[in-house]
Structure 1
Amino acid sequence: MGVDLEVGRNGERQPLLAGKSSKSTGSSSRGKRREKRVRGSVLYTVFCTIVVALGPITFGFSVGYSSPTQQKLTEDLGLSLSEFSMYGSLVNAGAMAGAILSGRIADRFGRKGALVIASIPHIAGWILNALAMNVASLYIARLLVGFGVGVISFTVPMYIAEISPKNLRGSLGAINQLSVTTGIFLSYLGGLVLPWRTLALVGVAPCSVLLVGLFFIPESPRWLAKMGIEDTLITSLQALRGKDSDISSEVSEIKDAVDISYKQEANVRMSDLCKKTIFLPLTITIGLLLLQQISGINAILFYSSAIFHSAGFSSSNLASLSLALLQVVMTGVAAVLMDRAGRRLLLMVSGAGMAVSCFLVGFAFYLQQHMDATSHFAPFVGNLALISLLVYITSFALGMGPIPWIIMSEVLPAHIKGLGGSVATLVNWTFSWLVTMSFNFLLNWSSTGSFALFAGMCAFTVLFVAVLVPETRGRTLEEIEALFQE
């Protein structure tokens, strides 16, 4: 039997001591245990993200609800086209009110507290929607649902960004939009088999589970630092990064950034918004969230069944369902690509794909208007509309869906994140309301012209990103803020 040897200090080969071997083995075991703890901390951060992402699920459910229920709801309650258009768009009006208050609520009560405040009226709205007997109660219900959506759409991306390590912030941030698309898909799927009242009660579930889940996740470390709750800050960050992780430098970095932010926040005036260090990130945030809406996404999601029906597609509800399912899948792909391909590239690819798709949908409507219904090419028109909208949803899900919300949570300086984020979210929901409210009338005016307008806005998005939007992949929030200071 051979003897293990090692080289001694004088160059002679000596027997390898058993103790040294066991020490090496012990170090290896400790390394494996440490690796497991680190993996466990990542899983815990993912768990926290999934819990708060229940909010965006109900956000998406609210957006998608009006598409499969339009026919039965209008028949049962005798709604006119303008009344249903108002009903569909009021979720945006409620979200506008929620957006105005969201920054103050999140800063005053914390990110978890804001989600509690958002969930209660949201749940009440869905219950009232299920019990509604006239148009007035439908309007009130939709406003309550929208208020919760407005607060959720601001708070969840911020919370995810503030708990995520920099190398995972893009992927975890994309879970926000993945949840929105999941909610849309569930509303379309439920609309095929459930009455509109029962489907409204299903909308209660996500926020109800969210309220329970909030007891099992920590508050945002950055909000705790802002409030001066140092013990809880350290406990929260240690749980998110793992027991064996050295968080001392990250704690110092967060506290230093918050201290500077607190001093700046106390002296913020409206004129300060014109300073380049604030104006540029605010312009990027508002611009992306504005372009996200005037690209036509919510109009298409709210009224996808009506669009397919107008284009001559026979199974309009099934086509809408395939649209929603594809959006879920492609947003999942975007989550994987976010921290690899980068934000800028995905945004430009997304905008270009959406522009081409909208042009082709408009072309399909043009062909339909100038073609006899008995023509052999009639089925081609419906299929062209379907394929083009599938490409549109694919392109949107890869970039313009998740990234504007991620960028908002990344580029706004800490001392104006509440105010600036509220303004940006308000702009987003204001234009969502304008587009969804006017879309049915735009279709009646000119289907081709409507999608030509959307195509132009999508093309402008590519130019906007190329000129103004920086790459934020792989940088901490503090590094991104310093980038604009420079």
Structure 2
Amino acid sequence: MAVSGNDVKEPLVAVEEGSKKLDVDEGGSPWMLYFCTFVAVCCSYEFGACVGYSSPIQSAIREDLNLSLSEYAVFGSVLTFGAMIGAITSGPIADFFGRKWTMRIATAFCVVGWLAIYWAQGAVALDIGRLSSGYGMGAFSYVVPVFIAEMAPKNLRGVLTAMNQLMICTGISVAFIIGTVLSWRTLAITGLVPCAVILLGLFFIPESPRWLAKIGRGKEFREALQELRGKDADISHEAAEIQDYIEMLDQLPKAKLLDLFRSRYRRSVTIGVGLMVCQQFGGINGVCFYVSYIFEEAGFSSSVGAVTYAIVQVIITAIGAVLIDRAGRKPLLLISGTGLLAGCLLVAISFFLKVHDWATTASPVLAVSGILLYIGSFSVGMGAVPWVVMSEIFPVNIKGVAGGFASLVNWFCSWLISYTFTYLMSWSSYGTFILYAATNLIGILFIMMVVPETKGRSLEQIQAAINRDNA
């Protein structure tokens, strides 16, 4: 049955006008909402532990297993390829089996990966373990923000979804710190701790209400929504809004990858995928993976710089999580993009002075200031907000396909930036950061012209607004 733009908009607009605002404390204490978020962000912590594992143990693992530099490079980079596979397959899995089972499957891959690394006696077992962990990490990158966004009320959705990025940063930082005192095999075992918490916690939390509504399990949908909002909360208006939207979506054919490029979904896909490209092409993974190298090249202590980098990242990400539902998504993205641009220019000036042997005492100061400004700016907005917006912007009927595609684009761009960084630096150290600055400037323009503000709107209201824009 064909559905016109007006047919799509009418029931949603009517619900929006007739409903009252749902506050988290309305009628009950939704402790289950926070417990669900805790279990979900343990997946994010596991994500960070996978990313941070390879950095502190490089020398020890190469010495113990007699690995060449190229073998270790494969071990480090194969994580990204596993993440690409996880990203593209997690959407359909989440749509078919549900959000909770997708997290279980991803966690199982991480468990297999850590055990393979722990028992490894050579490069092959290490690579298999890293590939398996990467798959779980890629699946987490999609399903965690989607699960949180679908269960959270609109007034808390931003801050709860932003906890995803905060826990990723925490996992990376903890792995980096404890990796300096633990053996590489013991560090692998510590990666199993969040896995155990996830697998146990998933037995006690409800499935995503919107997913339950989508597959026609109406009774379970209402029970899950009631549990998340508190036993005495009035869920009638929110449930009606979700049900009206799901009924409208039921009239649409099942989404396929090519459907993402139809005019109906083009704006949502442009926003979601565009933000992923802006996030990665601004140079974050080149800076993150090679921060010690950057500090060394600039003439600053790599160990002091890296520890400071990790601390700033966690603190500023926490501040961004608090601000996202107050300041809004778009203002944080614009502030973040401006800081990224300024940070890249400071580092570029530092390397330019170093190359020409000018102001040698100022060069390290500029480099450190630029890198800290860069990571602080990334952490306050560009790190978390694209994932928040991605979890909000896609309609439920294409969320699996579109979210998986956006995550795949993110991981491919991540690999491309990390792979080309050393080549760019050998071409021109200051030219590399001028290039990143130009990319961040383009990102600022994209955010200003294309990205909408989603703060304070339900997922159904966001779709109604996009449909009006498409009409």
TM-score above 0.5, yes or no: yes
Deviation at 1:271, TM superposition (A): 5.4
- What is aligned with 2:396? 414
Q: Which residue of 2 aligns with 1:7?
A: none
Structure 1 residue 293 corresponds to structure 2 residue 273: no
Deviations 1:156-183 (A, max 9, x none): 0000001111011111111011111111
Matches within 5 A, 1:28-107: 38=27, 40-41=29-30, 43-107=31-95
Alignment check: 8 A CA contact 1:68 1:317 kept: no
In structure 2, what is the equivalent of residue 368 of structure 1?
A: 354
Asked if structure 2 preserves the Cα contact closer than 8 Å seen for 1:67 and 1:305, the reply is no
- Greater displacement, 43-52 / 130-139: 130-139
Q: Which runs of 5+ in 1 are unaligned?
A: 1-33
Within the alignment, does 1:232 sit opposite 2:232 as a pair? Answer: no
**Cα 1:232/1:277, change in 2 over 3 Å:** same
In structure 1, the residue matched to 2:3 is none
SS in 2 for 1:217: coil
- For residue 481 of structure 1, the aligned residue among 439, 463, 467 is 463
Q: Does the C-alpha gap of structure 1 residues 269 and 216 become closer, same or farther in structure 2, counting only changes over 3 Å?
A: closer
Q: 1:35 to 1:274 in 2, by over 3 A?
A: closer
* Counterpart AA for 2:333: L
Larger Rg: 1
TM-score (norm 2): 0.90
Q: Does 1:183 align with 2:165?
A: no
Report 1:72-471 matches (<5 A): 72-266=60-254, 268=255, 272-314=259-301, 316-371=302-357, 378=360, 380-471=362-453
1:246/1:37 Cα in 2 relative to 1: closer, same or farther (>3 Å)? closer
- In the aligned structure 1, how far is the partner of 2:239 from the partner of 2:147? 17
The number of equivalent residue pairs is 446
**Contact 2:283–2:417 (8 Å) recurs in 1:** yes
**What letter corresponds to residue 382 of structure 1 in structure 2?**
P
Task: Tell me which moved more, 453-462 or 379-388.
Answer: 379-388
- Cα distance, 1:244 vs structure 2: 1.6
Q: Deviations over 1:164-216 (max 9, x none)?
A: 11011111111011111111111121122223332222222212211111112
Match for 1:435: what amino acid? I
Q: How far does residue 326 in structure 1 lie from its aligned partner after superposition?
A: 1.1
Report the AA paired with residue 429 of structure 1: W
Paired residue type of 1:361? V
Residue pairs, 1:3-18, within 5 angstroms = none
| 8 Å contact from structure 2 (residues 320, 381) kept in 1 | yes
Amino acid corresponding to residue 285 of structure 2 in structure 1: N
CA contact (8 A) 2:151 2:209 kept: yes
Distance 1:388 1:202 in 2: 33
Question: In 1, distance between residues paired with 2:430 and 2:71?
Answer: 25
Contact 2:78 2:131 in 1 (8 A): yes
> What SS class does the counterpart of residue 286 from structure 1 fall into?
helix
Decide whether aligned partners of structure 1 residues 383 and 86 sit closer, same or farther in structure 2, where only a CA change above 3 A counts: farther
Partner letter of residue 388 of structure 2?
A: I
Amino acid at match of 2:410: N
Q: Distance in 2 between matches of 1:35 and 1:221?
A: 16
User: Which residue identity is paired with 2:75?
Assistant: Y
Instruction: Check conservation: 1:51, 1:213, Cα contact below 8 A.
Output: yes
Could you tell me how far 1:305 is from its partner in structure 2? 2.0
- Residues 254-263 or 72-81, more deviating: 72-81
Cα offsets for 1:390-424 (capped at 9, x unmatched) = 11111001111010001111111111111111100
Give the TM-score, by structure 1 length. 0.87
State the AA in 1 paired with 2:343. Answer: S
Query: Structure 1 pair 320/419, CA: closer, same or farther in 2 (3 Å)?
Result: same
Distance 2:109 2:356 in 1: 48
Aligned residue type for 1:40: S
Change in 2 beyond 3 A, CA 1:65/1:120: same
- Following superposition, the deviation at residue 430 of structure 1 comes to 0.9
C-alpha separation in 2, matches of 1:474 and 1:287: 22
Judge conservation of contact 1:53–1:156 (CA < 8 Å) in 2.
yes
5+ long unaligned stretches in structure 2: 1-22
| Shift in Å, 1:107 | 0.8
**Contact 1:361-1:451 within 8 A present in 2 as well:** yes
CA pair 407-35 structure 1, distance change in 2 beyond 3 A: closer
State the percentage of identical aligned residues.
46
Q: CA deviation at 1:229?
A: 1.6
State the shift of 1:95 in Å.
0.5
Q: Give CA-to-partner distance per residue, 1:402-457, whole Å, 9 cap, x none.
A: 10001111111111111111100000011111222232333333322222222111
Distance change in 2, residues 1:384/1:279 (3 Å): same
Q: Is the 8 A contact 2:24 2:229 kept in 1?
A: no
How far residue 80 of structure 1 moved from its aligned partner, in angstroms, is 4.4
